Amino acid sequence: MDHAVDEVEEQSLQRTLGYYAAAVAQALIRDEVSVEIAEVEGHRFTEDEDPDDETSLIEVFEEAKAVLYLGREFARRVGCQQQPALGWDGQSGWYYFVDSDDTLPSESVVGARWLSDGLVPAPARVVAFVSALLLDSSTAGSGERPFYREAGQNVAELINRLSPHLPDHIGRGSRPWLSHLAHSRDWFYLNRALNQLSADDETVQVPMRMGELRTVMDLLKLHEMSATGPLGGLSQQLGRDLERRVFSGAVPPQSEIARESAARFKSQLQDMEARRRQREQQQGKDN
């Protein structure tokens, strides 16, 4: 059987799969699950692959696959001492497995728990699967691997099924879905920070050792240096607020630079969103 896939199709498969994996990761982040994309592959088949050759079989399995690493909090809650992960492959869809340094690609499915809800389920279904894993990772999903297609067949159809998760703007570079995920993750936490900092809530007393407080401030400084845009600015302002309260005796509502800045920026974003909706409504009327 001819499994040949041209280079353009291979790149398209990897790109669409990458953005689908990013959409799933975004949904998990919104559900309080830390996650990162560890791997996305779109393998090019050749005509002379031997199905009896073990190496060839491994390559067939990697025709299209993605791996998402779940964060430390997930590992703690399920009692996992190694790296918990979600895998996706182009034959069977999503599955949960535990990754380690000596795990071969062909071994990741051994003992895996399968979502068994189609090849390209909606991200919300993957989130529900992860929630079930948190309750009992040994029984969630199914222990029996499903098969929805044969590796290497109808690649164009697979790309078409993944393509609804492509954004309006496709980024440049070899792995644009990573920057897309980073951008959406930053905006998610920025909006959360703006809502929390600008909220009219009470002042709380939190018992902390001085070393713990200084560490929090150092981490804010580290984030300020690594983050871009408004998130870095909020980290800087929040760090200055904490420093003034600790070392200068300022108390709320004194020294609330971060809160005031968050309120202003939140208002600006709301105004921008209102103008965007007005433009869309006007364009709809014009059409």
Task: List pLDDT tens digits, range 265-281.
Answer: 888 888 887 887 788 77
Domain boundaries in the chain? 7-167, 199-286
Helix axes 176-198, 230-247, angle to 10 degrees: 40
Whether the per-residue pLDDT at 110 is higher than 90: the answer is no
Q: What is the mean pLDDT of the chain?
A: 83
**Distance in angstroms (rounded) separating the CA atoms of residues 22 and 38:** 11
More confident residue, 20 or 225: 20
Indicate the pLDDT class of residue 1, thresholds 50, 70 and 90.
very low
Give the confidence band of 10 by pLDDT, cuts at 50, 70, 90: low
Answer whether 0.85 is exceeded by the pTM.
Answer: no
- Bridge partners (DSSP) listed for residue 88: 66, 94
Ordered DSSP codes for 43-108: PPP-TT--TT-HHHHHHHHTTEEEEEEE-HHHHHHHT-SSEEEEEEETTTEEEEEEE-TT--GGGT
H helix intervals, 199-287: 210-226, 230-247, 257-286
Return the minimum-mean-pLDDT range out of 21-25, 108-112, 115-119, 132-136. Answer: 108-112
User: Of 70, 119, 132, 123, which is closest to residue 99 (Cα–Cα)?
Assistant: 70
The answer, yes or no, to whether the previous bond of 253 is cis (omega within 30 of 0) is yes
Higher pLDDT, 210 or 231: 210
Q: What is the pLDDT of residues 114-134, one digit of tens each?
A: 999 999 999 999 999 999 999
- For the segment 64-82, what is each residue's pLDDT rounded down to a tens digit? 889 999 998 999 999 988 8
Residue 43 has pLDDT above 70, yes or no: no
Q: Is the pLDDT at 102 greater than 70, yes or no?
A: no
